[in-house]
Amino acid sequence: MKNYNGSNYYSYNSNLAYNERYYEREVNNFDVRVEKTRGLSKSKPKMAVVSVFLVSLIVVAVFAFLFQYVQCCTLDHNIELRKTEIKHIEDQIIDTDVKIAENLDAAYIKKIAIGKLGMVEANDSQKVYIETSHEDATISY
């Protein structure tokens, strides 16, 4: 049976006293601690998810930057290769132009015609001269 005293403490008629207020305070303190712990545990996963997302976003951005840098370097290298190829082809064009100019020389053509082809120079009797009224006229046969 419970007895009520003036300080609102309840006790049992036995050798052990039961203080209800004390247990109520302990239970309330425990509940507060549990709620605070629950609140922290709810915010930590949110922060962890946000942190993981931000870190992964930064990593992806860094890899994208590196990928673009490698592509730019590759393109620069290809441009340099094309420039050297163009320079080599221009040198070949100049060499070919020089050879063409050498081969258009009348003395060189006469030398090749007589030496390699076995041709002989025409006699005066084999030559035919044609007079035109204008210097820029062309005669077709």
Residue type at 123?
N
**What pLDDT band is residue 137 in, cutting at 50, 70 and 90?**
low
Provide the pLDDT for residue 93.
96
Tokens of 23: 């247990």
Average pLDDT over residues 52-64: 96
With b for 16 or more beta-carbon neighbours within 10 A and e for fewer, the 33-58 pattern comes to eeeeeeeeeeeeeeeeeeeeeeeeee
Gap between the Cα atoms of 119 and 44, Å rounded: 103
Gap between the Cα atoms of 41 and 35, Å rounded: 10
Average pLDDT over residues 49-58: 93
Predicted structure pTM score = 0.42
With b for 16 or more beta-carbon neighbours within 10 A and e for fewer, the 82-113 pattern comes to eeeeeeeeeeeeeeeeeeeeeeeeeeeeeeee
